[in-house]
Chains A and B, each alone.
Chain A
Amino acid sequence: MTLPPGSEPVTMSSSSRPARTRRPVVRGEREPTGRIGVFLCRCGGSVDGRLDIESVREKVSSMDGVEECMVMDFPCSMESRETIVNVIRENDLDRFVVAGCSPKAVEARFKSTAQESGLNPYMVEIANIREQCSLVHNLSEATSKAGLLVEAAVAKCSLLVPAPHHRGRVESEEVLVYGNGMSAVVATDELVSEGAKVHLVLPFSPHRLVFNYHDGIRPGHLEDMRDRITDSDLVRVHGHSSVERFEGEPGAFTALVRSSEGAEEIRCGAAIIAWEASEVPSPSLNGSLVVTQAELESIMDQGRVPDRTVMITLREEDTYCPERITHIEALRNAIRMKEMDPRVQVTIVARDVLAFGLSELDYREAMSRGVSFIRTEASPLITVGDTVKVRVKDLNLGEELSIETDLVVMSSWTQPYDTGHVAQVFGTPVDREGFFIPTQVKLKPTASIVEGVFLCGTGVESKTPSEVVLEARSAASRAKAMVSSKMEWGGAVAEVDPESCSACLTCIRSCPFNAPFIGETGKAEIEIGLCQGCGICVGLCPSRAIQLYCYTDGQLGAQIGALVGRVR
C-alpha cells in the first residue's frame, strides 16, 4: 500500500521503504518463568540508616512471584554482581528488581548483569528508594513509602516481557559526504584525519570549489585542504554527481550515485549532508562602490580602507528578516576598519542590531571606537555617481539624512538550492525556505531525524566561516564515532500489533523521528533502528495497537495501582 500522494515527501515515508520490523531473537536468553528476585541496597547508610530496610524486605518477600528477596551492601559492586548472577541461576529467576539509588545511575550496570545471567537485559526494574525516598523523607515515612515503591516495581516487573534488541551490523565503515562547498571539504578532511574512508560526492568538479573566507581562516588554507583530500587514498571523489537513492540502516546504507558516466551503488555506514547555501546578491551591487561584506574583506586584505563607509544591514525587499550573521559580520568588519585606520568614518544602518552572544562585546567595542549607528525602518535609497549618496530616515531624529560616502557595503542574504531533492532522497526534512531542519539543536547538534545522516553547512542555517568549520568537524566526528562503535538497536522501543492497527496514519503523522511506516501488509510498522522509545505514538493510537516495551499500559497500570492502591 502506498501512502496518499501529495503528502509532504520529505516527512512521510514512501512505499520505497520495505517492511523491515526486525525482531531477531537473541540466542541464549532464557525462557520466561515469571520468578522474580528483589535486591535491596543498603547504599552505605544513605538508605539503610535512613529507613528500616529489614521491614521493607519482610514486606516484599511475601509478595506473589517473589522467589528471593535479599538485602545487600552494594548490589552494583563487582562482588555483589557475582552474588546476584548466582542467585538468579540457582533460583531460576527470569527477572529482578533492584531497589536503591536512581536508575539513571545504575540502570546500564544492571542490564549487563542481567545479560551475564543469561537474561534479556530489559527484564530489570529499578526502584528509587534513595534520591526519591530515603534522602527526602523522615525514617517512618521513608520506610512505608519504600515499601510501596518496591511493591510497585515488583508489580511492574512481573509484567515485563523480553524486549527485542540486536547489535547494529556495521557493514561498512565508510562515510558518504554529499556537499557543495566548504563544509564538505572540512568534513572530509576531518574524516581522513581520523582514518575513515570517504566517498565525496560533489555536484561539480572539486576544482570548482573556491573559498573566499576570512574569519580567522588563513587564505589558501581551504584550497590546500581541498587538494590534500582529493589526493588522499582514503577519499574517492565523485565529481559531477548526485545521490539519487539512499536507503538502509545505520552501519549499512546503500546509496545510488549518478554521474554522467552512469550510476554506481556505494555502501556506507553513515552519511553527511554538507550543503552550503548560495549568496543572493543584492540588486544594488556594482562591484566598485556598492559591494558585499566579503568584497569589503578583500579590499581590507589588500591593505586599503575607504575614508567613508556605510554598511546597510537591511534587505531591499519588504520582508525584513536578518540572517543570523548579518550584524556579527558587519560589526567585525567595522572594528577591523577602525583598527586599520581610526580616522575613517564607518556607519552601520540597521533596524535592530542583532549582536548576540560574544558579538555583544563587539557591538560595544564598535561604539567605543566611534562607529555610528543609524536606526531606520525601510531600506535606504542609494544613488551612485562619482561617489555614493545614501538617503536614510533616521528614526531617532525623525528626519531623512543624506549621507555622501565612498563605499556602501550591502549585507548578503543566503538561499539554499537543490535541497528539496536532497531532502527527499535522504528523508531529512527542509523548511519552507529550503534550509535543512536539524532534529534537536541543543541536545543533538548536527543530527538529522534520520539516524546515521548528519547535517552541516550554511544550508542548515547561516553561520560564520569558523562556525562552518567547527560544525563540519563535529559532524565528521560523530559520523566516524558511529561507524566505529558497537551500535545496539532496540530495547524500550514501540511495536505495532497489526491485528489491532486501523492504518489511520496517526502514528506516522506524529512521530518526530519518522520511525513508523505503512508496511507491505498495509498496517503500520515501527522501524526499530529509528525508534527512540519516547512513546508519543502509544498514547495517540486510537486503536491501542502500539505498545512500548518496558512501559506498556499494563505495566504502568500495575505500577500506579500499587502506588495509589486503596482498600475498597
Chain B
Amino acid sequence: MIIGEQKPFKEIVRNLEGHETILVAGCRSCVAICLAGGEKEVGVLAESLRIHSDLNDLGWEVGEATVERQCEKEWVRELAPLVEEVDCVLSMACGVGAQIVQEMFPDTRVIPGLNTSNMGAPEEQGIWSEKCGGCGDCVLHLTGGICPMARCAKNLLNGPCGGSQDGMCEIDPETPCAWDQIFQSLKRLGRLDLMEENIPPKDWTPSRNGGPRTIVKSSAVLTEKEKRAREGLD
C-alpha cells in the first residue's frame, strides 16, 4: 500500500498561514492502515490545531471528516457541504487523495498534511518498508521476488555493486543489499540460472520519467451509449 507520514506539526501550522476555517480530511484506506491519516489521526491533529488556535488567539474553526477513499471522486464529493464552509482543506490522504480533493473543489485551497513516501508493506506493526519502485516494467520473476528498483539504492539491474558488504548496502549498514537478497532468494528457489539472464538497460518510458502515466482497461471504460444511459444519475 501507499505509505505516508504525517508532516511535522510546526510545518503544517506554517502552511496553514492565512487560513482560518479548515477542514481536516482523512481517508480510511492506505493512510489509515499505515497510521498516518485515518480518522484517529485526523481527530488528534484537529484537536491539536484547535489548541494551537486557542493559545495564539487565531480564531480558527477546525472541522473533521474522513471518507472511505480520498482518491475516488464519488467519495470526495461527499465532502462538498463541509468544504463550502471552509477556506482550505488539510488533506491527510496520500498525494493522490489530496489532488483529487483539489480537482473536485478547484476554488478551495488544498494543503497536504502528509508526506507521501512510497509503496511498501509492514515488516511488523508500526514499521513499514519500501517494496515496489513503480517502474512500470516488472522483473520480479527474474529477481526472486525482490524489486531492484525500490530496494537497490542504485537501481542496478544485474548484480550488486562493489560496495555490497556482508549482505548489506554501502549506504547504511542496516540496509540489506537487494542483490544479495536476490541471490539468496534465487538460490532457495533453485533458479540461480536466472541470474545469468541479462536484464537490459532500463527503458524508463513506462516509469515516471516518461511523464505522468495513464493506464486504460478498455473493457471497463463506459462506452458513449452507456454513459448516456446514466446521464442524470451521476
Mark A residues whose CB is within 8 Å of B: 500, 502, 504, 506, 509-510, 541-544
Contacts and interface: CB of A to CB of B under 8 A. Distances in A.
B41 interface: yes
A256 to B, nearest CB: 33
Contacts of A506: 33, 35, 125
B40 interface: yes
Given A542-B38, A542-B40, 5 more contacts: A500-B39, A502-B38, A506-B35, A543-B38, A544-B43
A30 B41 CA distance: 37
B125 A542 contact: no
B33 A502 contact: yes
A509 B125 contact: yes
A90 to B, nearest CB: 41
B33 A544 contact: no
Nearest to B42: A544
A542 B66 CA distance: 11
B29 interface: yes
B232 to A, nearest CB: 28
A504 B33 CA distance: 5
Contacts of A544: 38-40, 43
Size bracket of the B interface: 10 to 19
Interface string B48-71: 000000000000000000100000
A197 B72 CA distance: 60
A542 B29 CA distance: 10
A506 B126 CA distance: 9
A331 B227 CA distance: 88
Interface string B203-228: 00000000000000000000000000
Contacts of A543: 28, 32, 38-40, 66
25 contacts: A500-B28, A500-B39, A502-B28, A502-B33, A504-B32, A504-B33, A506-B33, A506-B35, A506-B125, A509-B125, A510-B125, A541-B40, A542-B33, A542-B35, A542-B38, A542-B39, A542-B40, A543-B28, A543-B32, A543-B38, A543-B39, A544-B38, A544-B39, A544-B40, A544-B43
Nearest to A553: B43
Interface of B: 28-29, 32-33, 35, 38-41, 43, 66, 125
A157 B33 CA distance: 33
Contact of A502 (B32, B41, B43, B125): B32
Residue among B28, B29, B35, B43 with max Cβ neighbours from chain A (10 Å): B28
A509 B122 CA distance: 12
Residue among A500, A502, A510 with max Cβ neighbours from chain B (10 Å): A502
A541 B66 CA distance: 14
A510 B29 CA distance: 20
Residue among B35, B40, B43 with max Cβ neighbours from chain A (10 Å): B40
Contacts of B40: 541-544
A114 B43 CA distance: 35
Nearest to B31: A542
Contacts of A500: 28, 39
A10 B33 CA distance: 23
A509 B35 CA distance: 14
3 smallest CB-CB distances across A and B, nearest first, come from A542-B38, A504-B33, A542-B32
B86 to A, nearest CB: 21
A500 B38 CA distance: 10
B57 to A, nearest CB: 12
A476 B234 CA distance: 65
B140 to A, nearest CB: 18
Nearest to A504: B33
A509 B123 CA distance: 12
A543 B35 CA distance: 9
Contacts of A510: 125
Contacts of B66: 543
Nearest to A542: B38
A489 B184 CA distance: 50
Nearest to A508: B125
Contacts of A509: 125
Nearest to A503: B33
Residue among B32, B33, B43 with max Cβ neighbours from chain A (10 Å): B32
Contacts of B32: 502, 504, 542-543
B31 to A, nearest CB: 8
Nearest to B38: A542
Contacts of B39: 500, 542-544
Contacts of B28: 500, 502, 543
A276 to B, nearest CB: 33
A321 B66 CA distance: 52
B148 to A, nearest CB: 23
Contacts of B41: 542
Nearest to B125: A509
A352 B16 CA distance: 62
A273 to B, nearest CB: 28
Residue among A500, A509, A542 with max Cβ neighbours from chain B (10 Å): A542
Residue among A500, A510, A541, A544 with max Cβ neighbours from chain B (10 Å): A544
